[in-house]
Structure 1
Amino acid sequence: MATLLHIDSSVFPGETSSSRSVTDAFRKAWGEQHPEGRVIYRDLAADPVPHITATAHLAGLAPASERTPEQSAALAARVELIEELEQADAVLIGAPMYNYSIPSTLKTWLDNVILAGRTSGETPSAQGTPVVVVASRGGSYAPGTPREGFEFVQNYLEAVLKGSLGLEPEFIVPELTMAPRVPAMSELVPLYHASRERAFVEAATKAKDLAERLAV
């Protein structure tokens, strides 16, 4: 029975969020392939995890015998998140671009699950787990565009998910999501619709491909 860890971080609910719409499409396609599978869901906007504190950070570095009761409690909260990642056969992350970067709630989740000697280091505990990231954005930051140099979502998540956690990230990028709302972007609306449709197709395709990989 395959387990999917699904994380959303958009502040917008339901279909008003481009990233949530696409992660929902992926999850539905995943469910068709794994009707008896398990989904661990975290909505970081509705139920944010606590920011990492000095106590929580130091607890991960201290030997168990030397931890204070406060450190043990703080580490237990982190371990709950870590175990969800370790139990997952695949991970799905909705990561909209806010001010050129990821939502602070998603950064906080990452700060909690990155634990040296366990999830990061020479042998990360979730190493090799496939991750599909829906990286939506209001404009376009693709190579060759004027704002190419302001793309800090894919670059950052590639470094953290792959470089620190040893995961295998793939990206789906619905772009120009602000075009229908901003008059100055009206000429880009057709490109927005094309990007959106492409994202839904990619979500369904990646869910099916991933299911086939895990079934081997």
Structure 2
Amino acid sequence: MTTLLHIDSSVFPGEASASRAVAETFRRTWQEQHPEGTVIYRDLAKDPVPHITADAHTAGFLDPTARTPEQAEAFGARLELIEELERADAVLIGAPMYNFSIPSTLKAWLDNVILFGRTAGDAPSAKGTPVTVVASRGGSYAPGTPREGYEYVQNLLGAILVDMMSLDAEFIVPELTMAPSNPAMAELVPLYEASRERAHQHAAAKAKQLALRV
């Protein structure tokens, strides 16, 4: 059976979150293709993982027999997250832009699963696993826009997921999500609606494509 690891990090619930809504389209389509499959779901807003600590960090580079009880306990929490990633046939991540970057809860999850010599480095344990990232944002940071230089979500996650962990990442980007609620962006509502529709279509198509691959 196939396994999808689904990570949400938006602080907003349900349809109030563009990243959650588009990720749900992907997940629903994926499950239609894999009705007997498994979905491992983590809602980092409701159930955040621990931020990395000195014990959790240093334990990753020690022989298990050399770890202190505190290090062993801290690394056990990391190991659960690492093994979820390694078991996954595909990964789905909701990554809204907050203050030009990713939510701190998602950064905490990444800090836990990145382990040089295992998930990162010369022979990453999840190498080649397809990762679909729904990178929603309130404005537009696309190439050629005034705020292009402030785009730190795709740049950051590309460096981590692809360069460090050798995962096969693709981004779906619903943008201008603040247009319906910000009067100053009223004229951009049609562009927001078109972006939202493209994102849902892209998510469904990507889920079907990956379902045939894994």
TM-score, with structure 1 as normaliser: 0.98
Off by >2 Å, runs of 4+ in structure 1: none
How far has the Cα of 1:93 moved from its partner? 0.2
Task: Using the aligned pairs only, state the percent identity.
Answer: 73
How far has the Cα of 1:85 moved from its partner? 0.1
The answer as to 2:209 corresponding to 1:209 is yes
Counterpart Cα distance in 1 of 2:66 and 2:36? 42
Which residue is equivalent to 1:91?
91
Which residue is equivalent to 1:119?
119
Counterpart Cα distance in 2 of 1:49 and 1:183? 36
Which residue is equivalent to 1:50?
50
How far has the Cα of 1:43 moved from its partner? 0.1
Counterpart Cα distance in 2 of 1:150 and 1:116? 29
The CA deviation string for residues 103-133 of structure 1, in whole angstroms up to 9 with x for no partner, is 0000000000001111111100000000000
Counterpart Cα distance in 2 of 1:93 and 1:143? 23
Structure 1: 5+ residue stretches without partners:
none
Which residue is equivalent to 1:163?
163
Amino acid at match of 1:73: E
Which residue is equivalent to 1:108?
108
Which residue is equivalent to 1:17?
17
Counterpart Cα distance in 2 of 1:120 and 1:2? 23
Counterpart Cα distance in 1 of 2:187 and 2:40? 40
How far has the Cα of 1:62 moved from its partner? 1.4
Matches within 5 A, 1:52-67: 52-67=52-67
Structure 2: 5+ residue stretches without partners:
none
Counterpart Cα distance in 2 of 1:163 and 1:72? 29
Amino acid at match of 2:138: G
Report the 3-state secondary structure (helix = DSSP H, G, I; strand = E; otherwise coil) of the residue aligned with 1:133: strand
Counterpart Cα distance in 2 of 1:140 and 1:213? 32
The CA deviation string for residues 21-59 of structure 1, in whole angstroms up to 9 with x for no partner, is 000000000011001000000000000000000111011
Amino acid at match of 2:75: L
Query: Which range moves more in the overlay, 57-66 or 77-86?
Result: 57-66
Query: Which range moves more in the overlay, 108-117 or 57-66?
Result: 57-66
The answer as to 2:73 corresponding to 1:73 is yes
Matches within 5 A, 1:113-192: 113-192=113-192
Q: How much is the aligned-residue C-alpha RMSD, in angstroms?
A: 0.5
Counterpart Cα distance in 2 of 1:107 and 1:178? 23
How far has the Cα of 1:213 moved from its partner? 1.1
